Amino acid sequence: MRCVAKVRDVLALMVIAVSAPAVAAAQSLTLQGLAGAPVAITTQELKALPHRTVTVAVHGLSGAYSGPPLAALLAKVDAPQGESLHGPAMSDIVVVRACDGYRVVLTLPDIDPAFLDQAVILADSVDGHPLDAHEGPFRLIVEGDKRAARSARCVVSLTLAAVP
């Protein structure tokens, strides 16, 4: 009986140890541009940005997700947008990384409202409530996707990269 209790206690500590870094990392978002130091954005800073609401179905469940446009976040690391997005920058990509290691890649034109009408947001709420621990605190939402494969949950970083 004591052996079972010890195993249970060790497993509980392992779960806490594995979960803690992911939870702590997800409380802020790291933005990395092509040049310069990474920029950390807290949940409070993200909430202060202008939000857009997009109603989408994620894995069969429809919800009204709200968050700032990805383009607004990438402007903080000088990502080219609008008229300045042309030439070689047309192939620049954004790597969206989730706390579980899942990654999604978008091109800059994919997220620029000057190119497409579909919204790409980093949601911090759904149906007027903060995202739960399974989804958030940040979730990538790509309006118009037929499948939610690019709808990464628990996003921890956005990295801009040049494709040669």
The mean pLDDT value of the chain amounts to 84
Residue pLDDT, tens place only, 90-103 = 899 999 999 999 99
Q: Could you tell me which residues are beta bridge partners of residue 44? A: none
Report the CATH number of the 2-161 domain: 3.90.420.10
pLDDT score of 8: 39
Residue pLDDT, tens place only, 43-85 = 999 999 999 999 999 888 899 999 999 999 999 998 988 899 9
For the chain, domain boundaries: 2-161
Burial of 16 (0-12, 13-18, 19+ CB in 10 A): exposed
Residue 10, pLDDT > 90, answer no
Pairwise pLDDT comparison (25 vs 88), residue with the higher score: 88
Q: Provide the CB-side half-sphere exposure for 28 (13 A, CA).
A: 9
pLDDT score of 58: 86
Residue pLDDT, tens place only, 99-154 = 999 999 999 999 999 999 899 999 999 999 999 999 999 999 999 998 889 999 99
The b-or-e profile of 119-150 (16+ CB within 10 A means b, else e) is bbbbbbbbeeeebeeebbbbbbbbeeeeebee
pLDDT score of 88: 87
pLDDT score of 59: 83
What global pTM score does this model have? 0.81
What pLDDT band is residue 31 in, cutting at 50, 70 and 90?
Answer: very high
